[in-house]
């Protein structure tokens, strides 16, 4: 075949392909996905909701490293297939007992004419949005390859309002900024300065999950689902044209994901509604993950716990047993020969006090950090220190505490700080997990503080994503639940591996000990971070003045007690900590009662009010009981909340115990002002309450038998 004839055939193929366009609708017909190839054979998509454009024409494809044959144009259509799917599945734990997974699917298989490489794009259109991913089948012309850049775009229709944090490769621990897209560049520097990490890849780069609001009332969430063996996606904004471009976290060498066909990418997700409550109610991220792969899940159970963490993070006590760094650096591993600092929190008498408190008030577990040797070495500037996860300090009686907790009916929770030495942790995992099981620990809080050792890998690169997944799956082999801190933000993987019972992966309560997050921070997180899975936010702080715990710390918790109670409902997690000290709960036992009563696992969730950055009100029915719990968190200004209790069963009567802000409550000057009252209510009842700035209310509703 002559070159002229071949060129003509390719041109004909592209011209034919450019005329190809296909649409697929959501089951309720409100969401529309339009796919086509343009005149250059570039795949593009567009998305609408109720006839309003959500995503304008946006390109798809990849740049391939050291190849010269990018997967970005000159495509023609091999096949186009549509199908529908509808199932209802039962989560192991969750915000409801059953989740419906209903979508219409379009799969476009493309052939790149100049390389004869094949790539498929799979779209799933749900009532609440669209998910799509790339698929690379096994083929002769594409085996091993490195993605230099993913060319996925999300073209916005206008200068929307965004709730964003900087595109950091190593932390999500930022306060959210609310601004127009056009303002991001100018606000980026101050946003970075507000965080201890102070790193960002771009002056217009932001992280997912990203929430946007249009001037005509649409709420849009951009994120990803099923992040497996790939790099986490950030978004770089072209602020002249309001186009978000995918930006993959590079590895330490600057490379993107290493791929081997056959393979697939994570799903790129766009959740949309004209009602903010629907964003909170969306389960699309979970639905785009595979079903549970753990056969026996009977050991995966929600936990309410207490621990020594808050007193450590505020500086009242320490992780380290000694301040005698000289002795440690001289190689003295017998800590009985060093001088204790007198502040070590994980000591046997104190831990037994916490076990007693947990037992008395019906908590499931006690988390103890700082129990194992080496913290002074790590804090003492030995950046390459590695923990062994099995050797306790001399003042922590591992066996005695195990037996004492068992007598009291309390489970101990293990803590593994990896010191970001990932290969060391992987070498120890089998031994460390077996050690946990031998000593009655069924759940672990893992941490990855600091630069990844040994070569400074980014926390959200493919290399680290694979490590987090490896640790999770290995934990499942030992029937251990994982609460990972400093790990990659969740993307619904807890559907597949529900032993990932929670994550941190955002700015939690600990930042209240470093100077305070914004008072409306908790009215943004459910729209952003929690889209991918539950968060170990560690709520329940009753003493807002940190200097009363540590005179050298002048931080303040920007919240009221009523707001802290509400977080147990609005910040969903099957793992919930009562983070404050027992002595502070003993001062306010009537308010503490709500933390004792509130459920962890839910039959049903009803989203009553929602506006990102301003307020959220959620009602949840506890699984296996007739009890309901309501939480309201309020944002930047005082507000009157009005709700109707029509979610209750008709014809039944209930007692509602209301914990609300006091008349003179102020999150800065009078945060401990609250009031408690009881009301008889039915499904016809209406409740009207004032929530102050940074405040809220919590309600416990129990049926009258």
Mean pLDDT of the region 655-671? 98
Mean pLDDT of the region 345-351? 98
pLDDT on residue 680: 98
Residue 163 has pLDDT above 70, yes or no: yes
Strands (E), 352-493: 365-367, 411-417, 443-447, 481-484
Q: How confident is the model at residue 377 (pLDDT cuts 50, 70, 90)?
A: confident
Topology of domain 3-287, per CATH? Beta-galactosidase; Chain A, domain 5 (2.70.98)
Mean pLDDT of the region 267-275? 99
Q: What is the DSSP letter of 464?
A: H
Beta-bridge mates of residue 482: 444, 500
Task: Report which of 539, 525, 609 is spatially closest to residue 568, judged by C-alpha positions.
Answer: 539
SS3 186: helix
Handedness of CA 418, 422, 427, 429 (dihedral sign): positive
Residue 9 has pLDDT above 80, yes or no: no
Residue 563 has pLDDT above 50, yes or no: yes
Residue 164 has pLDDT above 60, yes or no: yes
- Annotate 476-529 with DSSP letters as a single string: HHTT-EEEESSSPPP-SGGGT-TTEEEE--S--GGGGGTT---TTGGGTGGGTG
Q: How confident is the model at residue 690 (pLDDT cuts 50, 70, 90)?
A: very high
Q: What is the DSSP letter of 571?
A: S
pLDDT on residue 330: 53
Residue 7 has pLDDT above 80, yes or no: no
Mean pLDDT of the region 138-157? 97
> How far apart are alpha carbons 291 and 169 in whole angstroms?
29
SS3 652: coil
Residue 10 has pLDDT above 70, yes or no: no
Per-residue pLDDT of 526-555, as tens digits, reads 999 999 999 999 999 999 999 999 999 999
Residue 199 has pLDDT above 70, yes or no: no
Task: Report which of 675, 677, 679 is spatially closest to residue 695, judged by C-alpha positions.
Answer: 675
Mean pLDDT of the region 154-175? 96
- What are the phi and psi torsion angles at 571 (to 5°)? -100, 85
74 neighbors 10 (Cβ within 8 angstroms): yes
Q: How confident is the model at residue 384 (pLDDT cuts 50, 70, 90)?
A: low
Among 155-164, 187-196, 351-360, the range scoring the smallest mean pLDDT is: 187-196
> How far apart are alpha carbons 85 and 88 in whole angstroms?
10
Q: Interior CA angle at 695 toward 691 and 696, to 5°?
A: 55
> How far apart are alpha carbons 413 and 188 in whole angstroms?
38
Q: At what angle do helices 398-408 and 348-361 cross, to 10 degrees?
A: 10
Each as own residue / partner, the long-range contacts of residues 18-22 (CB below 8 Å, 24 or more positions apart, any chain) are 20/77, 20/80, 22/80, 22/82, 22/106, 22/108
Task: Give the chain's mean pLDDT.
Answer: 94
What is the spatial order of strands in the sheet that 62-64 belongs to? Answer: 62-64, 144-150, 258-260
Cβ contacts of 674 within 8 Å, gap of 6 or more: 560, 561, 562, 591, 659, 660, 661, 662, 665
Domain regions of the chain by residue span: 3-287
Task: Report which of 298, 294, 303 is spatially closest to residue 574, judged by C-alpha positions.
Answer: 303
pLDDT on residue 382: 55
What is the percentage of the chain residues whose pLDDT exceeds 70? Answer: 94
Handedness of CA 523, 529, 531, 535 (dihedral sign): negative
For residue 70, count other CB atoms closer than 10 A to its CB.
17
**Catalytic residue flag (residue 510):** yes
Q: Kindly give the residue spans of alpha helices, DSSP state H, lying in 282-322.
A: 284-287, 309-313
Per-residue pLDDT of 230-254, as tens digits, reads 999 999 999 999 999 999 999 999 9
Per-residue pLDDT of 73-95, as tens digits, reads 999 999 999 999 999 999 999 99
Residue 431 has pLDDT above 70, yes or no: yes
pLDDT on residue 327: 59
Mean pLDDT of the region 424-453? 95
> How far apart are alpha carbons 56 and 439 in whole angstroms?
56
Write down the catalytic residue from 150, 510, 603, 693.
510
Mean pLDDT of the region 160-164? 98
């Amino acid at each position: 075949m002559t070159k002229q004839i071949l060129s003509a055939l390719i041109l004909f193929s592209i011209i034919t392909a450019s005329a190809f366009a296909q649409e697929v609708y959501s089951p309720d017909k409100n969401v529309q996905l339009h796919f086509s190839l343009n005149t250059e054979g570039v795949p593009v998509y567009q998305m609408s909701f109720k006839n309003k454009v959500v995503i304008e024409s946006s390109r798809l494809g990849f740049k391939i490293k050291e190849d010269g044959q990018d997967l970005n144009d000159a495509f023609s259509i091999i096949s186009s297939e549509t199908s529908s799917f509808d199932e209802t599945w039962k989560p192991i734990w969750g915000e409801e007992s059953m989740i419906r997974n209903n979508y219409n699917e379009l799969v476009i298989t493309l052939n790149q004419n100049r390389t004869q490489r094949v790539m498929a794009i799979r779209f799933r259109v749900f009532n609440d949005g669209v998910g799509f991913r790339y698929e690379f089948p096994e083929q002769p012309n594409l085996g091993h390859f490195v993605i230099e850049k993913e060319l996925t775009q999300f073209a916005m229709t206008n200068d929307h309002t965004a709730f964003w944090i900087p595109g950091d490769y190593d932390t999500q621990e930022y306060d959210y900024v609310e601004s127009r897209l056009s303002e991001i560049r100018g606000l980026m520097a101050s946003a970075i300065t507000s965080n201890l990490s102070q790193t960002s890849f771009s002056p217009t780069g932001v992280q997912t999950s990203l929430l946007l609001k249009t001037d005509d009332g649409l709420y849009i969430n951009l994120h990803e689902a099923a992040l497996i063996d790939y790099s986490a996606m950030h978004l770089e904004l072209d602020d002249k044209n309001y186009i978000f471009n995918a930006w993959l976290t590079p590895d330490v060498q600057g490379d993107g994901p290493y791929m081997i066909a056959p393979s697939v990418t994570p799903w790129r997700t766009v959740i949309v509604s004209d009602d903010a409550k629907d964003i909170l109610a969306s389960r699309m991220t979970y639905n785009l993950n595979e079903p549970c792969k753990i056969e026996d899940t009977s050991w995966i159970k929600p936990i309410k716990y207490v621990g020594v963490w808050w007193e450590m993070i505020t500086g009242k006590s320490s992780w380290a047993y000694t301040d005698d760094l000289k002795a440690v650096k001289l190689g003295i591993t017998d800590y009985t020969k060093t001088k204790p600092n007198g502040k070590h929190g994980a000591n046997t008498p104190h831990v037994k006090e916490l076990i007693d408190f947990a037992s008395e008030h019906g908590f499931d577990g006690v988390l103890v950090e700082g129990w194992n040797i080496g913290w002074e070495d790590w804090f003492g500037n030995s950046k390459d220190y590695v923990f062994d996860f099995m050797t306790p300090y001399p003042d922590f009686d591992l066996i005695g505490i195990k037996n004492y907790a068992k007598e009291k009916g309390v489970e101990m929770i293990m803590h593994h700080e990896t010191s970001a030495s990932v290969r060391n942790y992987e070498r120890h995992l089998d031994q460390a997990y077996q050690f946990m099981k031998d000593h009655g620990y069924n759940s672990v809080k893992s941490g990855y503080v600091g630069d990844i050792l040994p070569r400074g890998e980014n926390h959200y690169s493919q290399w680290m994503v694979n490590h987090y997944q490896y640790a999770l799956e290995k934990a499942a082999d030992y029937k251990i639940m994982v609460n990972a801190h400093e790990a990659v933000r969740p993307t619904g993987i807890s559907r597949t591996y529900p032993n990932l019972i929670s994550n941190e992966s955002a700015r939690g309560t600990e930042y209240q000990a470093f100077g305070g997050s914004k008072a409306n921070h908790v009215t943004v997180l459910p729209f952003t971070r929690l889209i991918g899975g539950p968060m170990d936010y560690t709520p329940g702080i009753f003493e807002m003045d940190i200097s009363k715990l540590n005179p050298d710390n002048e931080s303040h918790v920007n919240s009221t007690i009523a707001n802290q109670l509400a977080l147990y409902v609005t910040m969903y997690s099957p793992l919930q900590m009562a983070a404050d000290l027992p002595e502070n709960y003993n001062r306010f036992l009537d308010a503490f009662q709500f933390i004792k009563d509130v459920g962890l696992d839910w039959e049903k969730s009803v989203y009553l009010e929602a506006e990102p950055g301003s307020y959220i009100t959620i009602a949840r029915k506890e699984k296996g009981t007739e009890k309901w719990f309501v939480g309201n968190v309020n944002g930047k200004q005082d507000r009157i909340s009005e709700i109707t209790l029509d979610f209750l069963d008709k014809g039944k009567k209930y007692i509602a115990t209301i914990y609300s802000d006091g008349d003179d409550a102020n999150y800065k000057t009078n945060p401990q002002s609250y009031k408690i009252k009881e009301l008889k209510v039915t499904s016809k009842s209406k409740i009207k309450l004032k929530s102050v700035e940074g405040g809220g209310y919590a309600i416990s509703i129990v049926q009258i038998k």
